[in-house]
Amino acid sequence: MFDREKFKESVIRNLKIEFGKTLEKSNKHEKYYGVSKAIMEQIIDHWNRTEETYKKGKQAYYLSAEFLMGRALGNNLLNLGIQDEIEKSLKDLGIDVNMIEEIEEDAGLGNGGLGRLAACFLDSCATMNLPVVGYGLRYRYGIFKQKFVDGYQVEEGDHWLKYGDPWSIRRAEDIVMVEFADEEVKAVPYDTPIIGYKTKNVNTLRLWQAEALEDFDFNLFNEQRYDEAVREKNRAEDISRVLYPNDSKREGQILRLKQQYFFVSASLQDMVKKYKERIEEGFEVFSQYHAVQLNDTHPVVAIPELMRLLIDQEGLTWEKAWEIAKKTFAYTNHTIMAEALEKWDIDLYEEFLPRVYEIIVKIHKQFIEELKRKNYTKEIMNKVQIISDHSIHMAWLAIYGSHTINGVAELHTEILKNQELKDWYDLYPHKFQNKTNGITFRRWLALSNKELTQLITELLETEEWITDSNRMKELEKYAENEVVLKKFLQIKLLKKKELAAYIYKKEGIEINTDSIFDIQIKRLHEYKRQLLNALYIVDLYYRLKENPAIDIVPRTFVFGAKAAPGYVRAKAIIKYINEIARMINHDEEVKGKIQVVFVTNYNVSYGEKLFSAADVSQQISTAGKEASGTGNMKFMLNGTPTLGTYDGANVEIVQEAGKENNFIFGARVEELEVIKDSYHPKEYYEKVPGLKRAVDTLMNGTFDDGGTGMFEELYNALLEGSDWHQADNYFLLRDFEEYREAQQRVDRAYRDRLGWARKCWINLANAGKFSSDRTIEEYAKEIWNIEPPKYNS
């Protein structure tokens, strides 16, 4: 039972202890901190009880370089089921709950879909009472905070911890040491509670922060060598300072390698230490208590590192250690593109992780001997060697050293089995599974779209759908109900107005809420084809200039994306889109017809408003390149049709909601496979009406790239190619005309407001498959072999 008076006393006490201030004299950041700490008091006993309960059985451990958590306060209140009580308590104290929710910084612990998936998975594990711990890095500055200067992306440090983090606890008693050949650093764990939805279960996300053994050399300081006195401190802290440091030079590559090994070694040491404290049977049964999921290749060094710990520190034989490792690890593949599969130069491992490298070499030789005994040809062996071309192939190491490999969408998994990883599938068909990604309905609907949540609950006469997503299928019976569809359209308009107000506050741009909100938000990468969207907008603009009488529904194109600091071509695409926006948004002749907005610093909190307000979900990656996508699911859940290719989870979205309720275009995987070697993009460039004119704006001076040549480089990439890829490597020009036709279908369909609402409603009603609860249930049963403890409350 929630005690309002006790909670209010806790807020006031925390303000006094932390800041030495009364409630009246505390600023908004301090109030947020005090409220958050008071909520932590509410859950600490349940958290401790959950950890004690989990110690008695098998646990899964999710190792990920990213956990894109989003704001904690609102989500935690939702999951605890005390939103109303907290709001009333804060009102008594004169605190506006909306104000303190907005004050919270998004935790800088991730960048894209990989990290957000990990966050959704943790939410589902806690909600389903599953014994799962997340392990990662506590980045001090995240990836970066994005702003635009004259249309260029400019990166700034994302100091998300500047006001402290009330949601994490430093666990000094669990510090471990991580050794590199050139330094030894402390790994300091910070634990964050992951609160399950309406359960007393509280799981843990443990993040490691790198610190020096000695922060300060007094003698050097006394000799007035001030920089040297703190050199070791800075060097150690660099390891957990920034997510994905630029690795275009060797120094950056070293830092990224150290990041990966640091958090993996610390996590495994933590597991081994706790195992020894509670299990007496010896390490032969280690895998009966541990299931370790490797989220992509970043943590794959865990395989040789566990071998090192078991052999060098626990005295096991190679054979026993390998048997344990194989039974412990499972690997999730998140990419189809061969060039994105992680490889490491042998020299880096030899220099900084020499013992780990020795173990990898032995694993490699063992694997080759195994293939020889099975009479595999040299041709096949050359394709799957863990060490080749002076590189360590981390995906190959992961597949060989894991008992299960999974893709993240049906199409993705089939491509892995039949194309990209075919040689491996032929070797180990029993290892491969599919686990279509999912999203948590708590954050992406119940929290971010309360009005739609209320409507669904009223129609279903229960809140059970929030944890039993299959119940949403029952909403289909309202697809012809005019009253319900009009309510849906009213809610969508409300969310559009809220987004418009937020964009005006953040960007200073007014947008037309009566226009179609056409939204593409995701990491900036060439295969995601933001450039295709941009070229279409340029073409539409020129057609409107030629014929102002063209009848179109007003359209607002919204982009949100960050480009990796070293990804020059992606940054050029951002600049190009911003130049298009500058031209269009200042042209009175098209005012009220089309508008372009590139929101700055796209993150989870921005996403919560964008997904719920969207009319069109742009999922236009080249077929066969997007492993799954989860943004497509968030749009669908909020009743937004997909404008996209048959790629990733789009395929399953169409299977669930019907092709007639979405807008599919473009070449499919099998077609691209046929034409890829004979593809000539200039044929489309010359023949497709309007395409040449749009593409030529990249090099004819229409838009200003500041003399950098970046636009011309984009132009050449489309028509000439480069030394590392063919011309138009992602088939933008091939798909342009079909994309334009799909956009015209959107325009026609949107005019029939009830017909459009029906498409939206059918998507919403069929989103149930894409709950992360379903995904995690499959992981738990089919990969991890874990279940909720019967004795857990």
Give catalytic residues, as residue numbers: 334, 522-523, 528, 630, 634
Structural contact between residues 762 and 658, judged by C-beta atoms closer than 8 angstroms: yes
Residue ranges with strand state E in 9-131: 59-63
User: Residue 741: CB partners within 8 Å, gap ≥ 6?
Assistant: 665
Measured N-to-C along each axis, helices 28-54 and 4-19 cross at an angle, to the nearest 10 degrees, of: 110
CA triple 45-49-51, angle to 5 deg:
120
* Position 307, amino acid: M
Report residue 445 CA to chain centroid gap.
17
The conformational region for residue 623 under phi > 0 = left, psi -120 to 50 = alpha, else beta, is beta
Give CA–CA dist 104/102, Å, rounded: 6
Structure tokens at 632: 């497509």
Structural contact between residues 67 and 122, judged by C-beta atoms closer than 8 angstroms: yes
Give CA–CA dist 47/41, Å, rounded: 10
CA triple 778-779-780, angle to 5 deg:
90
Q: Which helix (H) or strand (E) holds 519?
A: strand 516-521
Structural contact between residues 336 and 627, judged by C-beta atoms closer than 8 angstroms: yes
Measured N-to-C along each axis, helices 83-93 and 4-19 cross at an angle, to the nearest 10 degrees, of: 60
DSSP string, 521-555: ES---GGGTHHHHHHHHHHHHHHHHH-TT-----E
Q: Which helix (H) or strand (E) holds 303?
A: helix 302-308
The conformational region for residue 389 under phi > 0 = left, psi -120 to 50 = alpha, else beta, is left
User: Residue 132: CB partners within 8 Å, gap ≥ 6?
Assistant: 59, 60, 61, 62, 121, 122, 125, 126, 203, 784, 786
Instruction: Calculate the alpha carbon distances from 35 to 27, 69, 101, 166 in Å.
Output: 12, 19, 10, 9
Phi, psi of 223 (to 5 degrees): -85, 10
Burial of 420 (0-12, 13-18, 19+ CB in 10 A): buried
Give CA–CA dist 682/531, Å, rounded: 17
Structural contact between residues 771 and 444, judged by C-beta atoms closer than 8 angstroms: no
Q: Closest Cα partner for 717 from 727, 709, 705?
A: 727
Q: Closest Cα partner for 175 from 204, 205, 214, 209?
A: 209
Give CA–CA dist 444/562, Å, rounded: 21
Taken in order 478, 481, 482, 484, the sign of the CA dihedral is negative
Give CA–CA dist 99/5, Å, rounded: 21
Q: Give, as one character, the DSSP assignment of residue 326.
A: H
Structural contact between residues 35 and 90, judged by C-beta atoms closer than 8 angstroms: yes
Give CA–CA dist 350/360, Å, rounded: 11
Structure tokens at 451: 């009005």
Structure tokens at 582: 């500058």
Structural contact between residues 416 and 432, judged by C-beta atoms closer than 8 angstroms: yes
Total residues found in the chain within this entry: 793
* Position 18, amino acid: E
Could you give the count of Cα atoms lying within 13 Å of 180 in the half-sphere of its Cβ? 24
Structure tokens at 547: 């014929």
